[in-house]
Amino acid sequence: MKNFFIILVFILTVTNLFAQSEENMNSNNNLNDTLVVLWTSGDPEVAEKVCFMYTHNALKRGWFKNVILIVWGPSANLLANNSRLESQVKSMISDGVKLQACKACSDSYGVSKKLEDIGVEVIYMGVLLTNYLKSGYSILTF
């Protein structure tokens, strides 16, 4: 009977270790499947020819399961005042790219409402970006 309990404890311990290992692997896969793009440039050519092209294709072509585009600094002002970029962002949103903008930045340019109207989630980003960085997400900056 004593041996039975020892074997049972051993089996439960091993099962628990495998479960934890699988949970960690799934968590790491989620981290590996999420791309966070930090767009700070006020240059429309950088937006169209580099940032948007890669960001949109990363999701559409399945390079990443989840793609988050953060609008930060001068890019907030550029997006709010450029109808061509606005159209491209709306297309990204409809395809599943998550858009977030730094509220402090967009407020400083007076464009928070305009970004919200486009479909961008306007929130304070300092803590959230820090969490993305500390969690190990893939971060790309333009």
Rounded Cα distance, 56 and 79, in Å: 16
Tokens 């305009």 sit at which residue?
Answer: 114
Q: What angle is formed at CA 54 by the lines to CA 51 and CA 58, rounded to 5 degrees? A: 135
Rounded Cα distance, 138 and 37, in Å: 8
Tokens 């950088």 sit at which residue?
Answer: 46
Going residue by residue through the chain (142 aa), what tens digit of pLDDT does each one get? 665 545 544 454 444 434 444 444 444 567 789 999 999 999 999 999 999 999 999 999 999 999 999 999 999 999 999 999 999 999 999 999 999 999 999 999 999 999 999 999 999 999 999 999 999 999 999 9
Tokens of 80: 């709010």
Please report the pLDDT score of residue 31 as a whole number.
75
Rounded Cα distance, 142 and 28, in Å: 25
